[in-house]
Amino acid sequence: MKIINFGSLNVDYVYRLDHIVKPGETLASSEMQVNPGGKGSNQSVALKRAGADVWHAGMLGEDTAWMRERLEREGVDVRHVLISKEIHGGHAIIQVDANGQNSIVLFGGANQAISAAQVEHVLMNAEQGDWLVLQNEINVTADVMVAGKAAGMKVCFNPAPFDEGVFNYPLDCVDLFILNEHEAAGLARKPVETAPEELVATLSAAYPNAMICVTLGEAGSVLWTAATGLIRQKAYPVQAVDTTAAGDTFTGYFLAELTRGASLAAALDMASRASAIAVTRPGALDSIPYLQELKA
Ligand code: RIB
């Protein structure tokens, strides 16, 4: 059983500031870094560092081609990471404030130029029971979802960043939703202040065949499945330095543990531990811990 993650690859330009820039304001940053990132590639690396067999599929530009080697060095299978000669690679401009909170501007670039032929070529490798991992940063998410499901794959969908376009996706194909509070509220069409239990109740009524996992930052996470009802997981308290990729780390660890045969509660606990470590470190992909660190 393998995991195919068809997802974004970004280079992150990270600026450290006292606070996130307000409209009309100009601020000097104390530090600037160029880091590997992208929700897709972060999740592939989290899956791999958690011990899973993961293939990444996606598109880079020549300017971001170094990301392919980086993922390969991590042990991710990159045979389906293509490099466009015409389009700039995806990138993100990330502001990180003194409390480690961030704000992100995305440029999709090559992530938004994936062809139907590439989708078909990647999905030819799908086998019954394989998992497909998707986020919302590439242009072919809906097509991949349909093709993956038709090939007998199980679908894990992290609808991030959330937008109304998500409602046009064939969401009945999804076996596992992983969402933060904003994404859960968006998908449930409720205000973000809505209690997590109410969000989960709405989502479970809409998608009764899916597992629904909602991460709640310092309040931990909740998971609903038809078989178990609601399971709660605490967060591990840490001093946050940079929350970028915390959700990606959670997704990778949760799915890796689940596919290894861990119980839902154990998978949640490992995901919670891993994301707690990730927020104590700067960067996106670079902040993701290795399995040995969690065991230690
Ligand atoms: O989830 C964090 C990621 O979101 C960053 O690495 C950035 O590239 C954006 O995709």
Who's near 12: CB < 8 A, 6+ residues apart? 33, 34, 35, 36, 37, 38, 91, 92, 94, 244, 283, 284
Evaluate whether 206 touches 251 at the Cβ level (below 8 Å): no
Cα dihedral 146/150/153/155 (nearest 10): 20
CA-based nearest residue to 10, from 113, 92, 80, 84: 92
Percent of the chain past pLDDT 70, that is, above it, reads: 100
Determine which one of 77, 248, 269, 286 is catalytic.
248
Evaluate whether 251 touches 257 at the Cβ level (below 8 Å): no
Q: What is the pLDDT of residue 31?
A: 94
* 109 vs 267: CA distance, rounded Å: 34
Pick the CATH number of 3-295 from 3.40.50.1370, 3.40.1190.20, 3.30.70.360, 3.40.190.10: 3.40.1190.20
CB-ligand 1 contact for 233 (6 Å cutoff): no
Evaluate whether 196 touches 222 at the Cβ level (below 8 Å): yes
Q: What is the DSSP letter of 213?
A: E
* 253 vs 139: CA distance, rounded Å: 25
Who's near 86: CB < 8 A, 6+ residues apart? 113
Q: Which protein residue's CA is at the shortest distance from atom 10 of ligand 1? A: 38
Q: Which segments of the chain does DSSP mark as H helices, in order?
A: 39-49, 66-74, 116-123, 141-150, 181-188, 196-206, 246-259, 264-278, 291-295
CB-ligand 1 contact for 39 (6 Å cutoff): yes
* 154 vs 158: CA distance, rounded Å: 13
Q: What is the pLDDT of residue 295?
A: 84
Upstream peptide bond of 289 is cis (omega within 30 degrees of 0): no
The answer to whether the predicted template modeling score (pTM) of the entire model surpasses 0.95 is yes
Q: Which residue has the tokens 């940063």?
A: 137
Pocket-testing residue among 33, 71, 94, 134, ligand 1, by greatest number of atoms within 8 A of Cβ: 94
pLDDT tens-place values along the chain, 296 residues long? 999 999 999 999 999 999 999 999 999 999 999 999 999 999 999 999 999 999 999 999 999 999 999 999 999 999 999 999 999 999 999 999 999 999 999 999 999 999 999 999 999 999 999 999 999 999 999 999 999 999 999 999 999 999 999 999 999 999 999 999 999 999 999 999 999 999 999 999 999 999 999 999 999 999 999 999 999 999 999 999 999 999 999 999 999 999 999 999 999 999 999 999 999 999 999 999 999 999 88
Q: What is the pLDDT of residue 135?
A: 98
pLDDT digits (tens, 9 = 90+) for 268-294: 999 999 999 999 999 999 999 999 999
CA-based nearest residue to 188, from 173, 203, 176, 207: 203
The mean pLDDT of the chain is 97
Q: Is 21 helix (H, G, I), strand (E, B) or coil?
A: coil
Active-site residue 63, yes or no?
no
Pocket-testing residue among 102, 162, 244, ligand 1, by greatest number of atoms within 8 A of Cβ: 244
CB-ligand 1 contact for 37 (6 Å cutoff): yes
Q: What is the pLDDT of residue 296?
A: 82
